[in-house]
Structure 1
Amino acid sequence: MSLHLLIKSLLRRKVVTVLLLVQLAMTLALLVNSLLLAMQTRDKLNEPTGLNLPQTLQVQLKPTTPDLRAYPLLGDLLERQMAAVRALPGVQAVAYANQGPVRQGGNNGNLYDADDEERTNIPTIPQYMVSPDFFAALGVSVVDGQLPVTPIAVDIDTPSPLVLTRSLAEKLFPGRSAIGLKTNRAPVAAVVEDFFGQSSATNPVYNSIQVSPLLGVDWGYALLINTSEGSTEQIRQQLPEVLRQVDANIEVFYVRTLEEQHQQLYRNEFGLATLLGILSGLMLLVAMVSSYSNAHFHALKQQQEIGIKRALGASKQLILLELLSENWLTTAVGASLGVLCALALNKVLASVISLEALNWWLPLLCSAVLLVCVTVATWYPARIATKVSPATATKTL
């Protein structure tokens, strides 16, 4: 059957054809973007973080009295809390930090080589103020230099030297060692392995750390605890009570493993991917039902014409191919419109969440899936139509 005749056949039922095309286009748009979001979320959850996620606990807490939220009482509170946590069986290291890793947003600022600001200025670099055991608590190893140890006294005029992650050091000081070189904040004392900081940062593994006392924690602070294998859950259950025994004037917001924090970070993307996936599955099912109904109704109306063709010598295979070809053409046109809808939906979603642009192969894959589903849905009514008897059809003339 020629393309001209196929188009002519479809135009005889314009309203049904247009509605089916719209349905196929919307189905493809949802299917493409839900699959893209699911793949992106999976990749983010599986990307290396440089951290021992299951065995590292993060406690987010805040003193409830103003005096405890500022130095020097804050420093005394932190030391007592860390000593109490350190005494728990299974705790390998504990440290405080103004903010934890694996999060969306936080305390950050720009950083650049003091001798080359114009070329090296990098915005949105997470800034951590931590205790010396911060690196042991996260299990981050030293690449170059020596980790600084901060004295008890606080000297505002002499800031603590910086510790940079490897990727950040290479970006600021390409081709040379960063140790001893000056930045706009402080000289570099050490370089450590990359670890995941903030998803909203310029680069998630760009992190700058200063081993320094916390001067104030109006927004709270974090305790990071490295636990031995098998003891994480037991320690998690004990932590709130242990911390309240040290000082009751604190509010414990949550106690999570960094693995849970990592999953929490992408909960919106995961939830939206699940929702779009369910909608895509339902739309695909509805498209199959619509294709089946359309093919079945069309085959019933075409019985006389099919009978005449059979009487003139047309084989069952040819009749079957003609009926399937109409549905294939409809699916091809609907899929083409669906690609445009998918691009538009992708832009809308990208304005709300972090979503990559569509690549060329994903619409092709989803179009192939749509074509297979429509073929399966229309196979049975097309097969029934081939069983029309030439003699029976001729009697209706």
Structure 2
Amino acid sequence: MARSDTQTAPIASPSTTVYPILFAISIVHLLNDSMQSTVSALFPIIKDSMNLTFSQIGLIAFAMNITASMLQPVVGIYSDIRPRPYILPFGVCFTLLGIIALSVAPNFLIVVLAVIAMGIGSAIFHPESSRVAYLASGGRRGLSQSIFQVGGNIGSSLGPIMTALIFVHLGQFGVIWFTIAAVAAIAIQYYVAKWYSIQPVITRSIKKTKTTETSKTGLSRSQVIWAIVILVFLVFSKHVYISSISSYYTFFLIDKFGMTVQHAQWFLFAFLAASAAGTFIGGPLSDRFGRRNIIWLSILGTAPFSLLLPHVSLVYVTLLSICAGFVLSSAFSIIVVYAQELLPNKIGLISGLFFGLAFGLGGLGSAVMGKVADQTSIDFIMNLSAYLPLLGILAIFLPKDKEVSG
């Protein structure tokens, strides 16, 4: 039986990119994040039906994201010590539970409990699937992380379409249809887990991994720590801005241009779809032109678009949001790969840490911005968040790629 599994799911080679596995985890990422995006997609619906404040809207996003944020590094550390391939399909079961609860939630408290369950599912999914992408990369780590990430960004971009085509008409209970996506994700993750379980990393000792990989990094401990700190600030700038747009861009369009909820969702979709495209482009570019170069260009290069966006007409708002989404989203998969190369014997920890930061900072940013919006206005939030990409200037202090690779 073991021989049959090996024939259908080959052992990863250091020089061969295993595309079937990469596309499988990308599809699951799409399904996972499309299920998660039902939460933000429901915001305009449940805000009215449950009479919620912007602060409560922010707290819902915070509850899901902070759950994933705190648990993902724990999952990552544990997987570094003792990989558990079959935790992948198990994690999606929490997402399935959250989807069912969200579809029938009668009040704010049950909505929060539902999104916490979804946060647990994401906490299990992201660090382990990122490790799978690393194993299946065949050395093309930027490309492999981009393939993995683009699925998630496409899934996130579907949220506004769900609102426009499903939730506006079916209401909150329309979420129940996404149980189909959860079941499909469980099946695909079982296939990925079979491949993952026969890879050498499962049987190879952590001690051996350390001795063969840490020598690749030509940096001192203090330089590595400094680089990680900079990367954390860059993740902060990116994900708080993305969170602000995802949660409040539609309200901005409704307030400033008098749009309907359904119409505003298509503009948010344009931003998120551009983000998905940017994710796919960033990884291959970093493999060719260097991680550090693409990171700073991606984040700092977003600033001209974000700063202009709140002050122009609707046509230019659309164009600028598409440009901002495309440029900014090329950064995250590269940041993850760069951090993994800084600490190549801590793939699970790094994946969990940075995905956790992405969730946690995004959720915290959404909660804080919601509180500020209640005290000021949505227009003020759009202007405030526009300055975040300027933190991209910090990327010039990162070690050069050749220093990281030794």
Same fold per TM (> 0.5)?
Answer: no
Q: Which has the larger Rg?
A: 1
TM-score w.r.t. structure 1 length? Answer: 0.22
TM-score w.r.t. structure 2 length? Answer: 0.22
Structure ranking higher in strand proportion: 1
Structure ranking higher in helix proportion: 2
